[in-house]
Each structure stands twice: as C-alpha cells, then as structure tokens.
A and B are shown apart, each in its own frame.
Chain A
Amino acid sequence: MITNRRSEFKLDWLILPLLGAVVVLLLWQMASTTWSKDLPGPLRTWTASKPYIMKPFEKRGELDQGILRFTWYSLVLVVKGYTVALLVGTPIGFMLGLSKFFSKSFDPIIQILRPVSPLAWLPLGLILFQKSQPAAVFTIAVCAMWPTVLNTAVGVRSIPQDYLNVAKVLKLSRTRTLFKVLIPATLPYMFTGFRLSLGIAWLVIVAAEMLTGSPGVGGFLWQEYNALIYEHIILCILTIGVIGFVLDRLMSLVERRFKTV
C-alpha cells in the first residue's frame, strides 16, 4: 500500500513531467528537421547556448553577457516597476473598496485603462521620461498595477460585516480600524493581487526591453534575432519561462504564509 503510493508519487512528480518534456523535445526536433529548417534543434540550441549557461555572469561585451547577468538587469528593472505598482496600486484598491463615491468615479476609467497593452504604454513612457529605463519602469508600474488594485478592492469589499461590527462596537478610530481590521482582513486578497502583478511585471519587462533595446533578457533576445543567432532566442525564451515560474512560486509561498495567518 505504502510502496504503491510512493511509486504513484514519483509517477506524478517525476516520470510524467519528464515524459512531457521528452515529447516536446521530440516534436521540436521533428519540426526543426522537417517543417522549418531555420528553427535550430534542441542539440544545436544547447551547444550554442552552453557558454552563456556555463558562465552565467560573464561579461564579454555590452550585448554579449552571461544569461544570468542579463536576467539580473531585467530583474532590477522589474523590482523597481513592481514596487511602484504596489505602492500606488494598494492605496487605490483600498479607496475603491472603501468609498462608493471613489469607486463610482474611477471604476469606468480603470476598466478602460486596464486592458491596454504594455506596447502601447511604452512610447508614452518614453515621451514622459525621455530615457528608456524610466520609461520601462513606468510601463511596468502601469501594467502591473491592476491586479493589485482590483484584488485589494474586492478584498476590502468582502470583509465580513462581523469584523466591521466589532470595530464599530469598540469605537475604533479610523486609523486603528484600518490597521487592526481592514488591512489584516484584506491581506490574503492583497497578496493574490501582488502575485498576479509580479507575473505581469515580468511579462512587461521583456516587451519593454525588446522595444528599447536595453540590456536584459528581452534586449538580448531581440538583438540575437537581428543577428540571426536563433539558438539564443530559444535560450532566452526558456530563461524567461523559468524565471517567471520561480518568481510565481516564491510569491505563492509568501502568499500562503499570509493566508494561514
């Protein structure tokens, strides 16, 4: 019984994912040999990417650096934009959740701005800030803010009446109500928003770097496309995916911690 369960566990977490990976690799190989000759196969991708992976922090030139070094540049930008998004988004979310007036006034405009693509915001950022880095931070902040705003607002609105009654009966002041009741009750929602925001921030940085050509994973990807080194495009795609996955996992760990509180 126990051994059975253990083997099932392995099947779930090791064998099946490996199987999936092998299938994708085979399809990729087949595609590269038959249907699209320009697409480098898995093996060629590996040999061409090896120096970038094996010496991940090497700096050989401005646009020829180890893959983790590029990742680091991207992450720094993401952190900046993400921080702005949280600092701006959370209070907006609270106001939307708390005030009917505020919510009625700004909800329509938020619904209109929310689906706008990062590609549309970036030129505006360039006009506003002249330089590519602050423009990227601006774009990340504007695009990544919405899940935080909306989740916080939903969280505030769904605080059970009981908790608010406690605050009323105790005659807690406004600030005390905010810190003792509203924020703790909303935290789980806020962190869900934070996690979704981080995912978007990571999506946006790649697009922003591709458009501005600044050093980073996205910038590297675009440059290697122009240089016709297609293997590196695949390296970048995989890196972007892995980093995005790791970020999401980390955030969901943090989220879970706050959920049990």
Chain B
Amino acid sequence: MAFLELKTVSKGYGSRSEVLKDINLEIERGEFVAIVGYSGAGKTTLISLIAGLIKPDAGTITLNDLEITDPGPDRGIVFQNYSLLPWLSVFENIYLAVDQVFCNWAPARKQQHTEKYIAMVNLTPARDKRPGELSGGMRQRVSVARALAMDPQILLLDEPLGALDALTRSTLQDEIGRIWEEHKKTIVLITNDVDEGIYLSDRIIPLSAGPNATLGPSIAVPIPRPRDRKAINHDPHFRQIRREVVEYLLGVGGRRHVTVSRKLFLPDIEPEDLNAPRSILGSRRRPIRRHEIRKETLESHS
C-alpha cells in the first residue's frame, strides 16, 4: 500500500455541485509530487482534505495505512497565504510549533532546534521581526521553516510561491529543491505554474478544471537531479511533459474559457476595526483592511 493514498475521494461545499470528484492518488514515501491546476479548481480543498482540516464526502484518505480523521503535526502544511501569527516574531512562530510537537524536550534543545530551522531558510537576521515587517518571500520561508521544524512525515505546499514575484520565486524554488534533497521528505506541491511543477517534482499530475475536478494522468519526470534551470528548457523530456500537461489542462480537463484569473485576497495582519477613532479635524479614517491583492492565473506557455 502506498504511503499516502486517496481512494475515490469526493468533496463539495453545501448544495452546489461537487468541487472534487473521484480523486485517486497514490504517493510513495520520499516522493516529490506536483499537482497543477486552474485557480478555483479545488487545489486548496485537496490539500485541506489531506491535512484533515476538512472531511471528504465520499472515499478514504490514508497515510501510512491509517485513515486521516483530523489535522495533526505529522503533516506539515505551508498554507497558500502563509498563515503566520502576526503577533509573534519569526522565532516565536516557529517555536510555538516546536514547543507543541516536541513537548518533552528541554527548553534549550527546543530553542536550538528552532534556531537551526531559522538558519536553514536564511532568516537568522530577521529572527525577532514580526511577519508584518517581512517581505512576502521571507514570510513564505518562515512558513516553510515552521512546517519543516515539526519534522512531519509529509510536507504539503499549497501554492507556496504563488504570491511572489518571478525573481524571488525562482530563488525559493531552488530553496525548496535543496530542502527536499537534504531531508528527503515526501512533498506534495500544489502549483499553478506548470514549469515550476516539472522543475521540482518526480511526478506531475494535472487537476482538471472544476466543478467536479479530478486528477488527470500522472506523468513521471525522468530528468536527473540536480536540475539546471537554464538547461532544463531545452531538455526534450521537459518539453514533452509540459506539452502533455498543458494539453490535458486545455483539452480534456479544460474549461470553456481559458484565460481565467481571479483576485486572491490575502488576509491582512490587522483585523477590521469598525470603531476606529475619528477626529473631526484630523486625518481621514485609514483603510479598514489593507488587502494584499493579486491576480491568480494559470500559466501555460504553449
């Protein structure tokens, strides 16, 4: 039996038609699997199911032959919008996880463990900063460090680099690749960038457009590691795989109109305040919630 196994899993929210339908997925220990799909197809839903944050309507999900019933630290998640606690510093955010998972360690050991993971993502200089003072890329790295520091059996990455600019994105891709080589953790990477998926993974699986999204054929990526970002573009395997994935996404698993984009609202650090003090003469009321807005699109360079 595979390490992580999803069998005929379906999930819908309320009365509307199902978001995910008949999902079958098998992932072996140590494998790096990328799942690529349109925004709104149900990628986050899929990750939440594996994480145990929501329950499937039908089908079963097992990790190590044990059915997943609720969330737990054995599955490290990097959420799509970082999900750092804004009132804690970088150190405290990670320490909270370490403290919880390794509760019987001595405090000094927990602290050392935390520092180790902060150093691993090159954030030691920002150790005492709060998430609000960090750039998107730095927050993402904190989130990755927090997930890894829990020493999970499997790492679930939900569009970890989606909100970042292209430069930061490629740097962090390499960082994720390096971390995987180092720790040999099982990784499920959700992405909307086909190239990113192929570049990092052992296997890439397209998710068809919703509703009733389902996984397409699993395509192995037999490109030897370490991979070279520049050279890979000319690799015949790479081009072949990309063509297959994109064809599936545009064809069988496609949707009527292809250029989909939507605004993604990343929650802001500051909660809404309906009773903000207002002075008659003073400055105008400042914006209630500073959304970090970005467009989310499927990138298919075909």
Dominant secondary structure of chain B at its interface with chain A:
loop
Q: Count residues of chain A with CB under 8 A from any CB of chain B.
A: 35
Query: In the bound complex, what is the Cα–Cα distance between A195 and B275 (angstroms)?
Result: 10
Q: By CB atoms of chain B within 10 A, which of A13, A171, A176, A259 has the most?
A: A171
Q: How far is the CB of B74 from chain A (nearest CB, A)?
A: 10
Instruction: Check if A169 sits within 8 Å of B73, measured CB to CB.
Output: yes
Query: In the bound complex, what is the Cα–Cα distance between A185 and B86 (angstroms)?
Result: 9
Closest to B156 in A: A169
Stretch of B12-20, B93-101, B187-195, B292-300 with 4 or more beta carbons under 8 angstroms from chain A: B93-101
**B287 at interface, CB cutoff 8 A:** no
Instruction: Check if B83 sits within 8 Å of A165, measured CB to CB.
Output: yes
The B47-98 residues at the A interface (CB cut-off 8 A) are: 51, 53, 70-73, 75, 77, 79, 81, 83, 85, 87, 96-97
Closest to A13 in B: B281
Instruction: Check if A170 sits within 8 Å of B97, measured CB to CB.
Output: yes
B residues within 8 A CB of A13? 281
Contact of A169 among B75, B267, B272, B276 (CB under 8 A): B75
Instruction: Check if B101 sits within 8 Å of A162, measured CB to CB.
Output: no
Give the interface size bracket for B toward A. 20 to 34
The A247-261 residues at the B interface (CB cut-off 8 A) are: 248, 252, 255, 259, 261
Instruction: Check if A196 sits within 8 Å of B275, measured CB to CB.
Output: yes
Interface string of B257-282 (1 = CB under 8 A from A): 00000000001001111111100010
Interface string of B87-122 (1 = CB under 8 A from A): 100000000110011000000000000000000000
A-B contact count (CB 8 A): 73
Known contacts: A160-B267, A259-B270, A261-B87. The answer to whether A169 contacts B72 by CB under 8 A is: yes
The B8-51 residues at the A interface (CB cut-off 8 A) are: 51
Contact of B273 among A165, A170, A188 (CB under 8 A): A188
The A167-220 residues at the B interface (CB cut-off 8 A) are: 168-172, 176, 180-181, 184-185, 187-189, 192, 195-196
- A residues neighboring B (CB under 8 Å): 12-13, 16-17, 151, 154-155, 158-160, 162-163, 165-166, 168-172, 176, 180-181, 184-185, 187-189, 192, 195-196, 248, 252, 255, 259, 261
28 A-B pairs in the complex with CB atoms less than 8 angstroms apart:
A12-B281, A13-B281, A16-B281, A17-B281, A154-B274, A162-B267, A163-B83, A165-B77, A168-B53, A168-B71, A169-B73, A169-B77, A170-B73, A170-B96, A170-B97, A170-B100, A171-B100, A172-B100, A180-B85, A181-B85, A185-B85, A185-B87, A189-B273, A192-B275, A192-B276, A195-B275, A196-B275, A255-B277
- B residues neighboring A (CB under 8 Å): 51, 53, 70-73, 75, 77, 79, 81, 83, 85, 87, 96-97, 100-101, 150, 267, 270-277, 281
